[in-house]
Amino acid sequence: MEEMKDLVLNYVINEYQEDEDEEITYDTPLISSGYVDSFSMVSLKVFLEKKFQIKIPDDKATPEAFDTVNKIVELVNEYTNK
Amino acid sequence: MTNIGSYEERVRNFDWSLSENELKHTEGEIINIGWYCSDRICEMGKGNRIALYHEGFGEIERKYTFNDIRLASNTIGEYLRALGINHEERVCLFMDRIPELYLSFLGVLKIGAVVQPLFSAFGDESLHVRLDDAKTRAIITQRKHLSKVRKIIDKLPSLEFIIIVDHNRAKELREKEVAFNLQEATPVEEMEIYPTKAESPSVLHYTSGTTGQPKGVRHVHYSLISQYLTTKWVLDLQEDDIYWCTADPGWVTGTSYGIIGPWSMGITQCVLDSGFSAEAWYRFIEKYKITVWYSAPTAIRSLMKAGEEIVKRFDLSSLRHLASVGEPLNAEAVIWSEKVFHKPFLDTYWQTETGSIMITNFPGMKIKAGSMGKSFPGITGVVLDSKTFEPITEPGKVGLIAFKPGWPAMMRTYWNNDEKYREKFANGWYMAGDRAYLDAEGYYWFIGRDDDVINTGGHLVSPFEVESALLEHEAVGESAVVAKPDELNMEVVKAYITLKPGYKVNDDLELDIMNFIRKRLSPLAMPQEIEYMDSLPKTRSGKIMRRILHAREWGEDIGDVSTLEDD
């Protein structure tokens, strides 16, 4: 679980963080704070699906479900366990 | 009682001098948008009225009176002047929706320079194209966006000043970089406003077309005349209103109706600088008791998707008037807002090039859900036959939306591209680039674009720009970009590509290409789907037939394929 969180966190930091001075943690709001906008969410969804070999239904890929690393991992676990 | 009163009477008696008189502007005299939006309001005795409630990440609130924005814009203006920025030189604003963005907008205008707001999510390539074309002299930005500017600075010999509003003193500034902290600067009480006239250039907004690079739309200070009156009659802003325009000032809605319109009327407005969340938006409306809300169909559809239960948790009874912009507002959204907010969102239609609202629904007027509405008084709008460019008189017949030139906010040209500007006119009419029909009561009904430009979430994306950027990816051989229908955004970008020899389709490649475009251009331009082909459909002369791919996406007839290259 920790490994999955770190994987997702590192991806978010590498791909979406613009200001090096700001710290992104497992609980940092990503969508609601503007780090990842709604258009960029698609690339994050593609990353999760490819990395974890899952399919996330479009209606589950909501800004709320993607808003923090912790919530993302929760969602991923829901589909890796299926 | 609405500001417009009777639409029919306004149309019968209309003259733009009505707006000039209210603003006490006389032909030939000085007119400066920055002054009108701050100093004039203070001179009217409203200096202590709140101009801006700003909420940033973490619900951090800042508020500014009209006197505060007068002082802040003076301070920024004098700072730019001291750097040596002259009138008509371009100053780019490349910031998130922080107060400094709004205050700098006025400050740049006050010294007679041309303000060039750019969407802060633009990647370095998008930024470079626009700054290079405009020969921008200064850019005001934040440290989080600095890396993008630094990547391209060597390719921008005209760019002399990179002004950072939130510089971290622990970090070193590089050549051309300067730190300017508004909170620490000594406020400038008196400032000599540059004596701009009606035709002095004011705002430069870049917009995308089907082919070629994005075009800089040049507006003038006289645009205020229509921006003020359309704000008053369409958005119906009144003395005690609390207004929220959700548009980013990187786009024309965020300046015409997110700064100029409301502040020239002395109206209090709110800005929420955070990503979209239905809960955050409803909480914001409740907290500030927002009365007039100007938003976009994509956002409205996102709210619809969030459901009705969440609405019930908030007191939104303050809302009295709602309007929408950016793309056609589907009838379903109008009906939904009537049910949930007890009033409809009114669709408004206009463009970067028009500078102000052209066709719209009006408060108090009969609303036909799904219709664009009627022409604004003083605007002569028609649909033209696509072959003869003559006005169509038959109701229901589809043609090209066009307007008689000469309204105050009409663009004056495309920057560096008078030729492209002249192409916007046919038979004496300004061509909007959209197709529609008029019904028997004079209501317009939108059909579609007349070109290949993609309208995603209310923002125009050029397929040419995306295709060109795709070709810069090492794996991409050929590319074609079309609009794909999308329930939320109306359209999203879809790319068809062939791969260069030696590259194979694999899990990582799609993601790599998506992120490549997202960072080079913008998240809007990022293909939401990529489809690999062995070859793209082409004419015998080698031109990629985008329309065939478009027809595939939309389930349309692919039309004449006699020129299609044989396999």
pLDDT at B567: 47
Give residue B499's identity as a one-letter amino acid code.
L
Return the residue in A38, A52, A55, A67 with the most chain B beta carbons within 10 A, the one to mutate for interface testing: A38
Distance CA A46, CA B534 (A): 23
Instruction: Judge whether B442 lies within some domain.
Output: no
Is A33 in contact with B518 (Cβ distance < 8 A)? no
Which has the closest alpha carbon to B139: B191, B182, B195, B180?
B180
pLDDT at A59: 83
β-pairing, B50-56 vs B381-384, is unpaired
Question: What is the DSSP annotation of B285-352?
Answer: HHHHT--EEEE-HHHHHHHHHH-STGGGGS--TT--EEEE-SS---HHHHHHHHHHTSSPEEEEE--T
Instruction: Judge whether B298 lies within some domain.
Output: yes
The model's pLDDT over B19-71, given as tens digits with 9 standing for 90+, comes to 999 999 999 999 999 999 999 999 999 999 999 999 998 789 999 999 999 99
List Cβ neighbours of B273 (8 Å cut-off, separation of 6 or more): A34, B54, B55, B56, B57, B96, B97, B98
Residue carrying structure tokens 């109706």: B257
Does B343 lie in the same domain as B462? Answer: no
Note whether B89 and B114 are within 8 A (CB): yes
B 63-102 residues with CB < 8 A to A:
96
Question: What H or E segment, with its residue span, contains residue B146?
Answer: helix B146-152
pLDDT at A35: 82
Of B338, B365, B392, which residue is a domain's last?
Answer: B365
- Closest residue in chain A to residue B459, using alpha carbons only: A39
Size of interface A-B (CB pairs under 8 A): 72
Instruction: Judge whether B414 lies within some domain.
Output: no
Does B188 lie in the same domain as B51? Answer: yes
Distance CA B295, CA B277 (A): 14
Instruction: Judge whether B566 lies within some domain.
Output: no
Note whether B64 and B81 are within 8 A (CB): no
Instruction: Name the packing angle between helices B297-306 and B278-288 (round to 10°).
Output: 100
Q: Identify the three-state secondary structure at position A39.
A: coil
Return the residue in A14, A31, A39 with the most chain B beta carbons within 10 A, the one to mutate for interface testing: A39
pTM to 2 decimal places: 0.91
Share of chain B above pLDDT 90, in %: 85
What is the domain count for chain B? 2
Does B461 lie in the same domain as B342? Answer: no
Distance CA A22, CA A35 (A): 11
Does B471 lie in the same domain as B330? Answer: no
Is B277 in contact with A31 (Cβ distance < 8 A)? yes
A79 touches B: beta carbon within 8 Å: no
Distance CA B86, CA B200 (A): 13
Instruction: Judge whether B536 lies within some domain.
Output: yes
The model's pLDDT over A38-62, given as tens digits with 9 standing for 90+, comes to 788 888 998 999 899 999 998 888 8
Instruction: Judge whether B409 lies within some domain.
Output: no
Mean pLDDT of chain B: 94
Structure tokens at B166: 């939130």
Distance CA B169, CA B178 (A): 11
Characterize B438-471 residue by residue with b for buried, 16 or more Cβ atoms within 10 angstroms of its Cβ, and e for exposed: beeeebbbbbebbebbbbbbbbbbbbbbbbbbbe
Count of other CB atoms within 10 angstroms of residue B1: 8
Structure tokens at B24: 């006490």
β-pairing, B345-349 vs B359-360, is antiparallel
A40 touches B: beta carbon within 8 Å: yes
Instruction: Judge whether B262 lies within some domain.
Output: yes
Helices (H), B234-277: 252-255, 261-264
Q: Which residues on chain B are in Cβ contact (under 8 Å) with A21? A: 143, 168
Q: Which residues on chain B are in Cβ contact (under 8 Å) with A64? A: 277
Which has the closest alpha carbon to B348: B321, B316, B376?
B376
User: Does residue A82 carry a pLDDT above 70?
Assistant: no
Instruction: Judge whether B465 lies within some domain.
Output: yes
Which has the closest alpha carbon to B109: B228, B204, B21?
B204
pLDDT at B87: 96
A19 touches B: beta carbon within 8 Å: yes
Distance CA A48, CA B528 (A): 15
Structure tokens at A36: 């990842």
A13 touches B: beta carbon within 8 Å: no
Question: What H or E segment, with its residue span, contains residue A48?
Answer: helix A41-52
Distance CA B239, CA B229 (A): 14
Burial (0-12, 13-18, 19+ Cβ within 10 Å), A27: exposed
Which CATH number goes with the domain that contains B131?
Answer: 3.40.50.12780
The per-residue pLDDT string of chain B (567 residues; one tens digit each, 9 = 90 and over) reads 999 999 999 999 999 999 999 999 999 999 999 999 999 999 999 999 999 999 998 789 999 999 999 999 999 999 999 999 999 999 999 999 999 999 999 999 999 999 999 999 999 999 999 999 999 999 999 999 999 999 999 999 999 999 999 998 888 999 999 999 999 999 999 999 999 999 999 999 999 887 788 999 999 999 999 999 999 999 999 999 999 999 999 999 999 999 999 999 999 999 999 878 899 999 999 999 999 999 999 899 989 988 999 999 999 999 999 999 998 888 899 999 999 999 999 999 999 999 999 999 999 999 998 999 999 999 999 999 999 999 999 999 999 999 999 999 999 999 999 999 999 999 999 999 999 999 999 999 998 888 888 999 888 898 988 999 999 999 999 999 999 999 888 999 999 999 999 999 887 899 999 999 999 999 999 999 999 999 999 887 778 888 889 988 988 877 777 777 654
The CA-based diameter of chain B, rounded to the nearest angstrom, is 74
Of B345, B365, B385, which residue is a domain's last?
Answer: B365
Instruction: Name the packing angle between helices B507-520 and B124-134 (round to 10°).
Output: 30
Task: Tell me phi and psi for residue B359, to 5 degrees.
Answer: -125, 135
All structural domains of chain A = 2-80 (1.10.1200.10)
Does B316 lie in the same domain as B460? Answer: no
Q: Identify the three-state secondary structure at position B277.
A: coil
Note whether B465 and B521 are within 8 A (CB): yes
Q: Mind telling me how many Å the CA of A26 is from chain B's nearest CA?
A: 16
pLDDT at A42: 85
Does B269 lie in the same domain as B124? Answer: yes
Structure tokens at B522: 């913008």
Residue scoring higher pLDDT (A23 or B139): B139
Domain span including residue B486? 454-554
The model's pLDDT over B100-129, given as tens digits with 9 standing for 90+, comes to 999 999 999 999 999 999 999 999 999 999
Note whether B235 and B292 are within 8 A (CB): yes
Of B333, B349, B365, which residue is a domain's last?
Answer: B365
Structure tokens at B194: 């540059």
Half-sphere exposure of A80 (CA within 13 A, CB side): 14
Share of chain B above pLDDT 70, in %: 99
Is B274 in contact with A34 (Cβ distance < 8 A)? yes
Which CATH number goes with the domain that contains B518?
Answer: 3.30.300.30
Across B444-533, where does the E strand assignment appear? Answer: 444-449, 454-456, 459-461, 476-486, 490-499, 529-532
